[in-house]
Structure 1
Amino acid sequence: CTQIRIQKQHSPSGVYEIQPTGTSTLIKVYCEMRQTDGWIVIQRRSGGVVSFNRGWAQYRHGFGSLKYDHWLGLEKMHMLTKDTTKVWTLRVDLWDHEGGHVFAEYRDFRIGDEGTAYRLHVGTYRGDAGDAIHGAYTGVDQNGAGFSTFDRDNDNCSTCLQGDIAFDRCTDNHGGGWWYSSCGSAALNGNWHSSDDPKFWRSGLHWLTWKPVPYSAKVSRMMIKSG
């Protein structure tokens, strides 16, 4: 997306076809164009129309509408970030139901292949949302975690507790697929909740270093760029 932005300076945000380095595959992505660069949107949530309560095959392939709420697909994320000559940045934008906005950026973002359960790797954090991926407290670091769905459990939770509620899988508690690790402070693929009642849900769009009381964001967006 950044190359498109540089080559065609007046390119608007929208759906473009790109070719990941080292492959002959063309994939369609949504490019969020900024003043000097472009970002590939890999996740967007803004309502409850698109369900994120899906199994491994759909999280692997991707779902939703690129122009609206969607998940790009784990295989495409791996294909994009496996080139070790590039350094990718992950940006997470969060909007609350009261009009506030925060962000988190992670350098050196990449996703492993399916044999690693699409293991998550992130490096240095910056932003004002808090470093939820590395954890709000000790023992919940999601960096290095494999991806889990309700039909493919790769979390580090045998019997986990939230309050006085016990559960065997993080997907049972948080909903949706994610890089869970006991179960962690970040989970953006749970059930979307309206502004009428966004607090205290076990499942939601959670980023606990931003709002420590479980609070489901109104909008989330995850984007990546190289360079």
Structure 2
Amino acid sequence: MIKLLRGFVTAVLFSIVIFTNAFFADNKRTAESQTDTLNTLLTVLTEYVLNRTAEVNTRITKNEQRINLLLQKQVELERKLNEHPSTTGKPSLLSNDEIGDSYVPPHSCADILPDRFAGDGGIYSITPLNMTPFEVYCLADPSGGCGWTLVWRRNEMNNEFNRTWTEYQNGFGALTDNFFIGLDKLYVLTNAEAQQLRIGTKYGENNWEFEMFEEFAIGSVRTQYEVFVKNGNNKSSIFQRLGRRARFFTKNLESRWGNEECAKVMGVGWWYSDDCKTYLKSRLYYMYINSPTYMVIRPKSCDKVG
């Protein structure tokens, strides 16, 4: 009996030893697995932080460049202001407060991007004469001239531009997508200073045609935003996008000039001349008017710079 009891106790103790060793071995493997997981997580987090740091440094560099440009412009402004003679015939030294009060906001993208080194294209705020500020999309000129103000962008043939008279007056769309600046704003911009106009029209996959007008302006609402263009240059297209003294028509406009039928058939508001009636049944003209198109303007005085 005593031998059996001793054997039982020995077996129990042996089982406990085996279980204990297995338990600690499992815990060791679990700890090692958790350590590996933690190391992997730390590696991922480190890479993420490094990538974000590089991105932040890039943004900081761009901001520093813009700040330096603004500081250069401020120095130039102070120099011009201090050189301006006062009523007593002596140089007029202005305080910082007075310099701030004399700040003139940009009237167009040409003021924001006077040359290709002034900055990148993008969305900026302008304040034309007698208007409150509003945002526009500015395009830098790769040839070195001053910037262009986007007034029309159509990315594809769709119904986005089959709008009402009021919508065309006020403008519509997103600055980075299908967009029209609005007839009222365009009237102010083109009458504040003589403007050039550049039109790009896309045919096929990547076939662009360009028209350049040395002078471009539109009349007020009283003239139905009659267009005035001069020295148009269109070498390849059989049609002209803009004719002299054409007036603006939309699908819902009833006008004494009688070309509203063109807007209804073509499905887009535009400056239609009497010639459009000749093309009402022309599929080519329909596709021409509805092709992807962009229009940009800039002051004519840009050509005189430099």
Q: Answer yes or no: is the 8 Å Cα contact 1:30–1:66 preserved in 2.
A: yes
> Which structure has the highest strand share of the two?
1
| Cα root mean square deviation, aligned | 2.7
The aligned runs of 1:49-68 (5 Å cut-off) are 51-68=160-177
Give unmatched runs, 5+ long, in structure 1: 135-141, 159-167, 188-198, 207-215
User: Which one of 212, 218, 221 corresponds to residue 111 of structure 1?
Assistant: 218
Q: Which runs of structure 2 are paired with 1:61-100 in the superposition (5 Å)? A: 61-83=170-192, 86-100=193-207
Report the 3-state secondary structure (helix = DSSP H, G, I; strand = E; otherwise coil) of the residue aligned with 2:248.
coil
CA distance in 1, matches of 2:156, 2:139: 19
Q: What secondary structure is seen at the aligned counterpart in 1 of 2:113?
A: helix
Structure 1 stretches of 4+ moved >6 Å: none
Point out the structure with the larger helix share. Answer: 2
Residues 88 and 16 of structure 1: CA distance in aligned 2, closer, same or farther (over 3 Å)? same
CA contact (8 A) 1:111 1:118 kept: yes
TM-score by length of 1: 0.72
CA offsets, 1:142-167, max 9 Å, x none?
A: 31122111111448447xxxxxxxxx
Give 1:120 shift. Answer: 0.6
Deviation at 1:7, TM superposition (A): 7.5
> How far off is 1:205 after superposition?
3.9
Q: Which residue of 1 aligns with 2:274?
A: 182
SS at match of 2:185: helix
Per the TM alignment, residue 111 of structure 1 is displaced from its structure 2 partner at its CA by: 1.0
The letter of the residue matching 1:17 is: S
Percent sequence identity over matched residues? 27
CA positional deviation for 1:184: 3.0
- Partner Cα separation in structure 2 for residue 151 and residue 49 of structure 1: 18
Larger radius of gyration: 2
Report the 3-state secondary structure (helix = DSSP H, G, I; strand = E; otherwise coil) of the residue aligned with 1:40: strand
Q: Which residue of 2 aligns with 1:146?
A: 247
Are the aligned partners of 1:87 and 1:107 in contact in 2 as well (CA < 8 Å)? no
Give the conservation status (yes or no) of the 8 Å contact 2:159–2:267: no
1:64-115: per-residue Cα shift (whole Å, max 9, x none)? 10111101100010011112xx321110011211321220011220011111
Cα distance between partner residues in 2 of 1:157 and 1:50:
23
C-alpha distance in 2, partners of 1:39/1:129?
23
Decide whether the 8 Å contact of 1:205 with 1:220 is kept in 2. Answer: no
Equivalences, count: 186
5+ residue gaps, structure 2: 1-108, 302-306
- Given that 2:116 and 2:140 are in contact with CA atoms closer than 8 Å, whether structure 1 keeps it comes out as no
